[in-house]
Amino acid sequence: MQGQRLLQGSAHRPAAKPQQQPRQPRRRPAAAPRAAAGSSAAPAAAAAAPVAPPPPAIMGVVEGLFQWKPLFNMAAKKARSMIVQRGEAIGIDWAGAMAKRRAHDWDAELKGVVNYAVTYPDYYTKAFHAYEQGNLCWDSALEVTLAAQSVHAGVMDPANKAFRRDGDAALRGAYGERTRQLMAAQGFDPASVRSAVDLGCATGLSSLALLEAFPGAAVTGVDLSPYFLAVGRYEQREREADTGRPEALSFVHAPAEATGLPAASCDLVSMCLVAHELPQSATRAILREAYRLLKPGGVMAIMEMNPASPAFQRIFSNPFAFAAFKSTEPHLTEYVTLDLAAAYTDAGFNAPQQLENTPRHRTVVARKPQAA
């Protein structure tokens, strides 16, 4: 079974192959509907239209360079050391945290979460974030919570230069706030959320943010990486020991396209920072699964990078920057060219509304029709 094979040491996986990009029409970015962070501006009418990346001919050449192993390895090493250095600069004891984690019995932890019946789609078994084995390895799982804090340290600063220890928390807090705001604008009382599903939860940072934004809710985190979920459970136990309070959070190892959770069982489905790791067909399948999971009138929320933001536009205008980014995010072009609003409505949702939650991230929210 493929699931088992990957879990028993997956050094067999080939490195990501050069991808043929679909030819995209060069379009001017649509003006992103905006609301300043912290404001209570009215939600925009619809999600931003897709934005074109650099022309495929140029991208092909530049991406070819990044697929040259020595250059890729050098760039990956530099990126990783920058993440660690920035983490330490904002006060994370990276070496100490990693030493403690590496000493833990992870095999036992893994057994507590893994579902050996799960199989992994091809798009998922690629190299991600400069880890050859992508999301299916301990190296990535043990670091992911620390890395999120480092990578998001400057996220609230338009120039991404003012680094704060709580940047990641601010990003997620703003997502919760925007989701509540858009829900209310669409006639759904945020205080009535009792059950939420966090698709692609990794170690649960996004699930925790849901617990904070919706204190009356029980949250189920779903992820395809049993390694991330194992670390998530470990971190949850550590937090519960610290606070003395159990969290209303449980984890399920499953693909977000077919969670196995009951139909019409939840008020809110959230997918936070996952769509950029997906081909368009997977995002569409996940939206259909979210529709199935939601009660009539329930809410689907997505938080992601905003391709129409000035920060993203700067990356588009520089094929080297875009190729470097894409070398660690194999499905990035599919994400930035996806018409997310159309994907929502194709899955049966009402037309979504969008707000910025940082200078480079957007929150997109829509309801399943009441009559569904």
Closer residue to ligand SAM, CB minimum distance, 58 or 106? 106
Rounded to 5°, the CA angle 170-176-181 comes to 125
Per DSSP, the three-state class of 358 is strand
The DSSP result for 155-188, as a single string, is TTSTTS-S--TTHHHHHHHHHHHHHHHHHHHTT-
Q: Should residue 274 be labelled a site residue for ligand SAM when binding is judged by CB under 6 A?
A: yes
- Which of 59, 208, 230, 282 is close enough to bind ligand SAM by CB under 6 A? 282
- Which of 63, 109, 223, 356 is close enough to bind ligand SAM by CB under 6 A? 223
| Shortest distance (Å) from residue 129 CB to ligand SAM | 8
Site string for ligand SAM, 104-143 (x = CB under 6 A): --------------------x----------x--------
Site string for ligand SAM, 185-204 (x = CB under 6 A): ---------------xxx--
Site string for ligand SAM, 228-247 (x = CB under 6 A): x-------------------
Q: Should residue 277 be labelled a site residue for ligand SAM when binding is judged by CB under 6 A?
A: yes
Strands (E) across the chain are located at: 195-199, 218-223, 249-253, 266-272, 294-305, 353-358, 361-367
| Shortest distance (Å) from residue 141 CB to ligand SAM | 9
Contacts of ligand SAM in 19-58 (CB under 6 A)? none
**Buried/exposed 312-332: b ≥16 CB within 10 Å, e otherwise:** beebbeebeebbbbbbbbbbb
Task: Tell me how many residues contact ligand SAM (CB under 6 A).
Answer: 22
Q: How far apart are the C-alpha atoms of 356 and 323, rounded to whole Å? A: 25
Whether 210 contacts 217, CB under 8 Å: yes
Closer residue to ligand SAM, CB minimum distance, 34 or 361? 361
- Sequence-distant (6+) residues with CB within 8 A of 351 are 45, 46, 341, 344, 345, 366
What is the DSSP code (8-state) at residue 347? T
- Any idea of the CA torsion for 25, 28, 31, 36, to the nearest 10 degrees? 100
| Shortest distance (Å) from residue 100 CB to ligand SAM | 21
Q: How far apart are the C-alpha atoms of 268 and 337, rounded to whole Å? A: 26
| Shortest distance (Å) from residue 282 CB to ligand SAM | 6
| Shortest distance (Å) from residue 23 CB to ligand SAM | 26
Give the length of the chain.
372
Q: Should residue 224 be labelled a site residue for ligand SAM when binding is judged by CB under 6 A?
A: yes
Chain positions contacting ligand SAM, by CB under 6 A: 124, 135, 148, 200-202, 205-206, 222-225, 228, 255-257, 272-274, 277-278, 282
